[in-house]
Amino acid sequence: PDAAAIDQARELAGSAGTIEELREILSTFEGCNLKRTAKSLVFADGNPEARVMLVGEAPGRDEDLQGLPFVGRSGQLLDRMLAAIGLDRTGVYISNVLPWRPPGNRTPTPQETEICRPFIERHVELAKPEFLVLLGGSSAKTMLKTSDGIMKLRGRWNSVTTQQITVPALPTLHPAYLLRQPAHKALAWRDLLNLKQRLG
């Protein structure tokens, strides 16, 4: 009953009036099978008042153990990337499209993604960031509702439109990808400078 789960997710997400309420609602939501294998709800980290919100794909092992996004190896690289433009977790807000780790870090199914979409979209509406940064192809495709690949999308401002708001969004390369392809750090660096300039 994926369609029923999506409807229920939309209704529940829409009923959240604050970020804390959204976290509460997600913690009791039983409509996504990923919750059954995950240890933690990985909701967010950083400053919900920040001008910039980063959206990744899904928690990995370390994130699932700690209940926080981007705390493993790719998170450490993300912290260094942010530091390179003078930001840290007090100056950004961080979440993921999926709040539960897919077992063994498998690729989430389209159904799982669509069941979780209302929650991340509501999360963006409640945080009201000035800018979104979409980390990696999976996040960019989901949030922008496009099938374009990350190499085409990255470095160009786009926009994420939810039921209530439209937010400028910059897709960039995922830190986990950069760990495997360090030569592409130069591209991510360009994107970071782009963001920095936009922040003024």
Give the nearer residue to ligand URA in terms of CB position, either 95 or 195: 95
Q: What is the spatial distance between Cα 200 and Cα 194, in angstroms, rounded to a whole number?
A: 10
Q: Which stretch binds ligand URA (CB under 6 A): 50-58, 118-126, 143-151, 186-194?
A: 50-58
Q: Determine, following the binding rule CB under 6 A, whether residue 119 of this chain makes contact with ligand URA.
A: no
Is residue 52 within the footprint of ligand URA (CB under 6 A)?
A: no
57 with 40: CB under 8 angstroms?
no
Residue 32 token pair:
């996504």
Q: Which residue is nearest to ligand URA (CB)?
A: 56
Report 19-38 residues binding ligand URA (CB under 6 A).
none
Binding mask 147-176 for ligand URA (x = CB under 6 A): -----------------------------x
- Asked if residues 32 and 116 have their Cβ atoms less than 8 Å apart, the reply is yes
Q: How far is the CB of 92 from ligand URA (least distance, A)?
A: 13
Spatial CA neighbour of 61 closest among 101, 95, 116: 101
Distance spanning both ends of the chain, measured CA to CA? 47
Shortest CB 185 distance to ligand URA, Å: 17
- Among 6, 32, 52, 58, indicate the residue that binds ligand URA (CB under 6 A): 58
For residue 45, state whether it binds ligand URA (rule: CB under 6 A): no
Residue 56 touching ligand URA (CB under 6 A): yes
How near is the Cβ of 96 to ligand URA at its closest, in Å? 5
In degrees, rounded to 5, the angle at the alpha carbon of residue 53 between the alpha carbons of residues 80 and 134 is 80
User: What are the φ and ψ backbone dihedral angles of 93, each rounded to 5 degrees?
Assistant: -120, 140
By the 8 A CB rule, do 143 and 120 touch? yes
Q: Using the rule CB under 6 A, is 74 a contact of ligand URA?
A: yes
Which residues make Cβ contacts (< 8 Å) with residue 67, sequence separation at least 6? 39, 40, 41, 42, 43
- Using CB under 6 A, list all residues that contact ligand URA: 56-60, 63, 69-70, 74-75, 96, 135, 176
